[in-house]
Amino acid sequence: MSLLEVKNLRTHFMSRDIDNQIRVAEALNGVSFDLEAGKVLGFVGETGAGKSLTAQSICGLLRPPARVVEGRVLFDGQDLTAMPSEELNELRGAQIAMVVQNPRTSLDPLTRIGDQLVRIHQAHTGGPLTASRERALEMMTAVGIPDPKNRASAWPHELSGGMAQRVLIAMSLMNRPKLLIADEPTTGLDVTVQAQILDLLKNLTQRFDMAMIIITHDLGIVAHYSDEVAVMFAGTIVESGPVAKIFEAPSHPYTRSLIAATPERLQMGSGAKLGGQPPDLYNLPTGCHLRTRCVFAQNICTDTPPNREVGTDHFAMCHFAGRLPESGA
């Protein structure tokens, strides 16, 4: 059984506009995927594709007007969408931990970092304070914070961005999670620090036997650090599969254009770039959401595309998956 099974997850934003009309933004339109224990899954896609929203929907972190309207999230056999919010709160930060993109502002500015580590351990695991303190020092060492005893008494504003991210990672590890969700963990960091943090995350998943979801818009990160890839577009996973296969044989036009848009490929003068704006979530095109921007679009694309299996564990949601011309990518 998979550690995490997400089935047909739909999340919508519902609001009323100034003309008293109900408006629905279809932000997630049937997201389904599995994640095995110990594996790393990379989510890629443009801003607004629903990567972060998927993570938030899984953890029950949506705020109104966003809400899950359909679908199930099975974590370790428990249905998170049906779970009372207190139980879900106990699960968050314990079995499912998050690392976010603004580490410096995400730490509590008025609490020393050691106390924050202890606090999260006390909140979920409990036990004697001395044990929590020991665990905190252990985790700070594990994430490569030099001189943890002294650093424990530092204030968040005294840390660099990279150091703050290490603290955040240490916090996420405090309660031995089974799943780590890293939502753009390196977005605001220096390039040199980015690689260190990602290497660290990858090593930690192996060392502590965790599964990890990395959310990013950087294909390079996905290629390097994940076992499996899910490409998101307009609230749908348009292509998913093992990382090698996705990069060897991208089978969805959107994936192809993403790969073609990496700096190396652009230098090689590849074609098949994608024009146009991201789709209006209030008014999505029928059928395939990409069809208005897709160079391969035909009449059939007004029908909802099937999720075709184009290889072992490799799926693409396109009428022409597996039959696209080889040129382009």
Restricted to residues 188-227, the positions that interact with another protein (CB under 8 A) are none
Shortest CB 169 distance to another protein, Å:
12
Restricted to residues 266-325, the positions that interact with another protein (CB under 8 A) are 277-278, 280-283
Shortest CB 233 distance to another protein, Å:
14
Q: Is the dihedral of CA 80, 84, 85, 86 positive or negative?
A: negative
Peptide bond into 185 cis (omega under 30): no
Q: Which is nearer to another protein, 20 or 327 (CB)?
A: 20
The torsion angles phi and psi of 140, rounded to 5 degrees, stand at -65, -40
Q: Which residues contact 233 (CB under 8 A, 6 or more apart)?
A: 45, 46, 49, 254, 289, 290
The 152-171 site mask, x for binding another protein (CB under 8 A), equals ---x-x----------x--x
Token digits of residue 12: 């919508």
Among residues 37, 61, 223, 261, which is the contact residue for another protein, using CB under 8 A? 61
Determine the interface stretch with another protein among 18-26, 72-80, 192-200, 307-315 (rule: CB under 8 A).
Answer: 18-26
Asked if 52 touches another protein (CB under 8 A), the answer is yes
The 106-135 site mask, x for binding another protein (CB under 8 A), equals xxxxxx-------xx--xx-----------
Binding region for another protein (CB under 8 A)? 13, 15-21, 23, 25, 27, 47-48, 50, 52-53, 56, 59, 61-63, 65-66, 89-94, 97-98, 100-102, 105-111, 119-120, 123-124, 155, 157, 168, 171-172, 183, 277-278, 280-283
